[in-house]
Amino acid sequence: MDPSRLNASLDQAERLLNQGSLHDAEAIYREVLDELAGQPIASQGLGLIALHTGHASAAVELLQMAAIGQPDDAAIHTHLGLAFGAAGDQASSEACLRKAIDLAPSFADAHLNLANLLLETGRINDAAQSYERALELAPESGPVYYGTAMLEMRRGDHSAAIEALETALRFAPALLPARVNLANLLLHTGQHAEAVAHLEEAVAIAPNNFDAQLNLCAALQQTDRTSEAVEVARSALSLAPESPELLLNLSSAETADGHPEEAWRTLDRALGVAPDYAPAKLNRAMVRLLLSDMPEAWEDFEARPSRGAIPRPEIAALPEWQGQAAEGKTIVVWAEQGFGDVIQFVRFLPRLKEIGATVIFVATRPLKRILTSVHGIDAFHDLDGNDTFPAADFHLPLLSIMHRFDISEKDIGAAENYIVSPDPTSDLWQSSGKRSVGLCWRGSPNNPNDHRRSLQPDELIERLQKLDIELVGLQYGADEISIPNPGGRVADFAELASVIAQLDLVLTVDTSVAHLAGAMGKPVWVMLPFAPDWRWMTERSDTPWYPSMRLFRQDAPGDWACVYAAIEDAISRL
């Protein structure tokens, strides 16, 4: 092949490679190698194509051939380092990248890729130095700022990571990983609208990018744009029609949009593709329970990850109780998930007593005093204490008790007022004699659905203060608030129960306060989002879980105003 034809072929192949036409570029490179075996530029091009298409071993072989032909080419050594990294050979990868830097100390790409490798292998300080050098050499490089953002995320500095990602996008607006990661960080820090805007831009830049669509679907749900989330997920199915992860996201969007029956069908489809996909099993359980499909749904509910979060090695060493004979046996039942879940489900512990078991309940100290007198608990083991762990025959995660006993809706209502305040008075608050209403407006921010269930209380407090009632805060962790807030000063749930015992009514979002008041038999009104947690079912204003409870539901996603108006009217009618 004469030099002019060779140069023309290589130039054309490079253009095609840069345009993403890998198949056409590959054909030209192979034609060159058929005539000129080992030609380094063609070998490098084929190596890059192999690297981009996930054939790391072939990429290593081709790029080694290119390096033999051009041993002083820093770019070839850099690409070879990336190929070794993709093949899992980190030592060879680092050696190639350092060789590239030795050959061309001002080659920013080599410093960047070395920094990425060092970060991946946990050498944070070394990675930081390499990123700094890359920034010195390429101060307007989007990929370098993106790498710096990944470093800051590893350090746990989200604000620095956000700043670096924003800078990366200023220099490289089409850098999709930077835009998606920035959106996810913004979601994490509560900047939901900004996150959605970035993901919408990502989809506009790359409409066929699966990750961008998947993340946009999730973000739209968090901004209560649920019908749009459904549309995005269904559109993305054309890219990956059998993706269990996408079908899971679609089901979540359908549930959030008020269509749990459709979500159930979608989850059946996901499990048809991946029968052991635990997140889909758990979501199907919650959708089925939302639609009152019990006891059948409890089997799917066993897929919840909290079942595996056994709190002590002594418990993990015990066999899990599967329903076998328990007469004369000791069963350690341990708390899982949130405080509200514990309060809700300890009602079923007497079932174990009825079959002859001794029950040791294991939980943290805030629950100890309030649960000590609960029927069905023989002993309470404090996870926050240093007591020797008692001998036992079996263990059982608390929420598995429903599956073991096939609990139906009829069984739920069998327990009333199963928690009693150990002290009917409280030093934290005493009634003035007016009708008293306790208010709780926020759950734990660690709950993934807290943005839906919690609310900003100012408007509600302003409405309630116009009524002839005494408003009392039950909000843990709230300091600056315009009403007395004894709930912010309680040491445990027993103290909170003493405050609740003196109230005429409890008004709360879906959190542990609702469960405690309901378990005590106190009149309690719960403010629910449009798509509530599975335990509150659909449409109804009452609940079999707590006879003294009344439910107030949003008419549309994010619409607390209609809930406030209904509550204001209901209180005025008392």
Look at residue 211 in the predicted model and tell me its pLDDT: 92
Structure-token pair, residue 341: 């879940």
Fold agreement (307-412, 436-572): yes
Look at residue 433 in the predicted model and tell me its pLDDT: 87
Look at residue 514 in the predicted model and tell me its pLDDT: 98
| CATH architecture, domain 307-412 | 3-Layer(aba) Sandwich (3.40)
Give the residue extent of every domain in the chain: 307-412, 436-572
Buried b (16+ CB within 10 A) or exposed e, 85-108: bbbebeebbbebbebbbebbeebb
pLDDT tens column, 222-241? 899 999 999 999 999 999 99
Buried b (16+ CB within 10 A) or exposed e, 128-150: bebbebbbebbeebbbbbbbbbb
Helix (H, G, I), strand (E, B) or coil at 549: strand
For residue 159, count other CB atoms closer than 10 A to its CB: 10
CA distance 517 to 519: 6
- Domain 436-572 class, CATH top level: alpha beta
Q: In whole numbers, what is the pLDDT of the chain averaged over residues? A: 95
> Omega into 295 within 30° of 0, i.e. cis?
yes
What's 105's DSSP letter? T
Strands 524-528 and 549-553: parallel
Look at residue 447 in the predicted model and tell me its pLDDT: 84
Contact (CB, 8 A) for 414 and 480 = no
440 sits in which H/E element? strand 436-440
Look at residue 372 in the predicted model and tell me its pLDDT: 87
Contact (CB, 8 A) for 77 and 64 = no
Look at residue 373 in the predicted model and tell me its pLDDT: 84
Query: Which of the residues in the chain have pLDDT under 50?
Result: none
Angle at Cα 320 formed by Cα 317 and Cα 323, nearest 5°? 155
Q: Is the pTM of this model over 0.95?
A: no
Look at residue 413 in the predicted model and tell me its pLDDT: 78
CA distance 134 to 474: 53
